[in-house]
Amino acid sequence: DQQVKQNSPSLSVQEGRISILNCDYTNSMFDYFLWYKKYPAEGPTFLISISSIKDKNEDGRFTVFLNKSAKHLSLHIVPSQPGDSAVYFCAAKSMLTTMDSSYKLIFGSGTRLLVRP
């Protein structure tokens, strides 16, 4: 049972245009979400996060939107650059215990973004 879903395995956009990567989740208890960028044979790099008390978080060219009622979030990259070409993972924070702030991440299957020059 996939709790975090990225239904688009790939996306291709022209350099300078907007890239929109989507993510859906099923567990309404999730209250914190993260986006990671991953190049082949490397570890994921943290990009941006959002708490459920917000509906938008922005960091430079990257903006994440959260729609709690729809259980949907999206990552916008504007303007897209060829160096943005990578696999993007959406992840939700799932608490491991109630005793401290340790948690695990539940990942979607990723979306491969290709930015064409």
Partner 1 sequence: DGGITQSPKYLFRKEGQNVTLSCEQNLNHDAMYWYRQDPGQGLRLIYYSQIVNDFQKGDIAEGYSVSREKKESFPLTVTSAQKNPTAFYLCASLDRGRETQYFGPGTRLLVL
**Binding footprint of partner 1 on the chain (CB under 8 A):** 4, 9, 32, 34, 36, 41-46, 49, 89, 91, 93, 96-97, 100-110
Helix-then-strand count for the chain, H and E: 0, 11
Beta carbon nearer to partner 1, 70 or 100:
100
Q: How far is CA 82 from the centre of its chain?
A: 19
Beta carbon nearer to partner 1, 72 or 112:
112
Residue 11 CB neighbours (<10 A): 16
Closest CA to 116 of 7, 10, 39, 41: 10
CB of residue 63 vs partner 1: minimum separation in angstroms? 18
User: How far apart are alpha carbons 93 and 50 in whole angstroms?
Assistant: 11
Strand 72-77 to strand 19-25: parallel, antiparallel, or no bridges (unpaired)?
antiparallel
CB of residue 15 vs partner 1: minimum separation in angstroms? 26
Beta carbon nearer to partner 1, 16 or 103:
103
Beta carbon nearer to partner 1, 77 or 91:
91
CB of residue 43 vs partner 1: minimum separation in angstroms? 4
CB of residue 91 vs partner 1: minimum separation in angstroms? 8
